[in-house]
Amino acid sequence: DTGVSQDPRHKITKRGQNVTFRCDPISEHNRLYWYRQTLGQGPEFLTYFQNEAQLEKSRLLSDRFSAERPKGSFSTLEIQRTEQGDSAMYLCASTLIRLAGGHSYNEQFFGPGTRLTVL
């Protein structure tokens, strides 16, 4: 399977614990995104990487959240001191930015997500 993979698929934790999620993007993709999705809403952007550089972070990403992509391949998202409001689906996506006809194209391919439940 050469798609985006995420691990674990489900995580149940107690409030105050730290959790870490992993994302393995499609190998030739240079951009990697993290999103959060809650019930009845579309995905909300958290952060993205161009290779190993973290280029943008949403204001949703409080100081309890940190993301890394150390070698420009897989990425981790860590949440420290989890709160019940952190319960959500965490989605990872990757893309290879391509240019055609003077426009850039950014079809993002998503992994299956990690569902986090904070008790």
CB of 32 to other proteins, least distance (A): 12
CB nearer to other proteins: pick between 2 and 14: 2
CB 88 within 8 A of CB 43: no
CB nearer to other proteins: pick between 17 and 60: 60
Contacts by 44-50 with C-beta closer than 8 Å and gap 24+?
A: 46/77, 49/75
CB of 73 to other proteins, least distance (A): 19
Q: 102-112 b/e with 16+ CB inside 10 Å = b?
A: eeeeeebebbe
CB of 97 to other proteins, least distance (A): 7
CB nearer to other proteins: pick between 72 and 112: 112
Q: Token pair for residue 46?
A: 């958290």
CA distance 48 to 56: 6
Which positions lie near other proteins, rule CB under 8 A? Answer: 4, 6, 31, 33, 40-45, 48, 56, 91, 93, 95, 97, 101, 103-113, 115
Which backbone phi and psi does 68 adopt, to 5 degrees? -140, 155
CB nearer to other proteins: pick between 18 and 106: 106
CB of 14 to other proteins, least distance (A): 23
